[in-house]
Amino acid sequence: MVRLSAFVCVQNQDALLSQCLRKLSFCDEIVVVADRCTDRSQDIARRHGAIVIDGIFPLESQRKAAGAEACSGDWILEIDPEDLVDAALAWEIRAVLQMRPDGDWYDLPIDNYVGETLVRDGWAGSLSARAEPRLYKRGLKAWRPARLNAPAVLAGRSGGALKGAIRRSLGPDVGGLMERLNRLTALRAEDIADAGRLASITSGVVNGMQTFVQGYLARGGWREGRLGLLVAMLSALFPVLAQMRAGDVLQARRAALDPVVRPSRLGEVVGLAR
Q: Which domains does the chain have, with CATH numbers?
A: 4-169 (3.90.550.10), 174-257 (no CATH)
The whole-number pLDDT of residue 101 equals: 79
Are 142 and 65 in contact by the 8 Å Cβ rule? The answer is yes
Are 5 and 30 in contact by the 8 Å Cβ rule? The answer is yes
Are 216 and 222 in contact by the 8 Å Cβ rule? The answer is yes
Give the three-state DSSP class for 192.
Answer: helix
Contacts of 29 (CB under 8 A, 6+ apart): 3, 4, 5, 6, 51, 71, 72, 73
The whole-number pLDDT of residue 259 equals: 64
For the chain, state the CA radius of gyration. 22
Looking at residue 224, what DSSP letter applies?
Answer: G
CB atoms within 10 A of CB 60: 20
The whole-number pLDDT of residue 130 equals: 92
Looking at residue 127, what DSSP letter applies?
Answer: S
Angstrom distance (rounded) from CA 272 to CA 267: 9
Residue 64: name the closest of 130, 128, 147 by CA.
147
Residue segments in the chain with a per-residue pLDDT below the cut of 70: 259-274
The whole-number pLDDT of residue 135 equals: 98
Angstrom distance (rounded) from CA 2 to CA 29: 12
The whole-number pLDDT of residue 82 equals: 96
Contacts of 255 (CB under 8 A, 6+ apart): none
The whole-number pLDDT of residue 167 equals: 98
Contacts of 266 (CB under 8 A, 6+ apart): none
CA 193 to chain centre: 19
Are 93 and 27 in contact by the 8 Å Cβ rule? The answer is no
Contacts of 217 (CB under 8 A, 6+ apart): none
pLDDT tens across 70-127, in order?
A: 999 999 999 999 999 999 999 999 999 998 778 999 999 999 999 999 999 999 778 9
The whole-number pLDDT of residue 243 equals: 92
Helices (H), the chain: 14-22, 41-47, 60-70, 87-98, 174-195, 201-212, 225-257, 263-273
Helices (H), 26-149: 41-47, 60-70, 87-98
- 112 to 45, 67, 124, 213: CA distances (angstroms): 24, 24, 12, 20
Angstrom distance (rounded) from CA 274 to CA 270: 6
